[in-house]
A and B are shown apart, each in its own frame.
Chain A
């Protein structure tokens, strides 16, 4: 089994297909914080139905598990909290896909995306504000030490890259501002 690269496995095919996607979550946080290991990658995506129908060809069997097209379409139509998994079966590595075409914050993040060059090609990363808002949302929903550590490290190492007004407004809009302040232990940050 060759050494798998989580970004190349899942974000690489999306990028080459021209899809609108952003690497977020822990891998996205890593760009603004410190290296750490994770076995899954979060991908915010805005895919039309044609791009969605082509998804199984980007992640073909037997190496990948991709949900049936009916599930992909149903999730893509969900107005909020849409989600599906794609897995690389030989390694057990997983991508969490979050259809976000109805989310104005995704549209903002897409305009502010950071494109990085890897050895295997270019990859689009979400801006830090987007990563922080979603880390706060997931921490509010299910806890998790990793969200706290990722967020605090992002503030420690990349606070100058963050548009605090945008971050505060989006957290406020989602009712997460107080939670962020407690989680980040940074009352004066936003």
Chain B
């Protein structure tokens, strides 16, 4: 495993190279792939499907909680039912 402490200090392009990512695809699809930390590489490669599903559900919960907090700050006069209604509408059209 690469040294986790020094990995974080490398320039993005070097981290991409070490992590096996490609900042630019060779074909017409242009994308930036953020490099994984060596601990993430190790963990994600050994994680079971069930474990990944639990993590994904947790991330969805984080997204819901964060947006609920944002909506509540933005609309302090809205009752909880309206906040939940708006949250559900946003989740329905959400992206990754």
Are the chains A and B members of one assembly? yes
Q: Which residues of A contact B (CB under 8 A)?
A: 1-8, 27, 30-32, 34-39, 65, 67-68, 71, 83-85, 87, 89-94, 114, 116-119, 123, 125, 141-145, 149, 158, 161
B58 touches A91 (CB 8 A): yes
Grouping DSSP codes into helix (H, G, I), strand (E, B) and loop, the B interface class, with mixed when no group exceeds half, is helix
Q: Output the least CB separation between A32 and chain B (Å).
A: 6
A142 touches B54 (CB 8 A): no
Cα–Cα, bound, A8→B62 (Å): 8
Q: A39-B59, A85-B37, A92-B47 are in contact. List 11 more A-B contacts (CB 8 A).
A: A2-B58, A5-B65, A30-B67, A35-B64, A37-B96, A84-B8, A91-B43, A91-B58, A93-B55, A119-B65, A145-B31
Query: Which residues of B are found within 8 Å of A31, using beta-carbon distances?
Result: 66-67, 69-70, 73
B27 at the interface (CB under 8 A from A): no
Contact status of A37 and B63, CB under 8 A, knowing A1-B54, A116-B70? yes
**Count of B residues near A, CB < 8 Å?**
43
Query: Which residues of A are found within 8 Å of B2, using beta-carbon distances?
Result: none
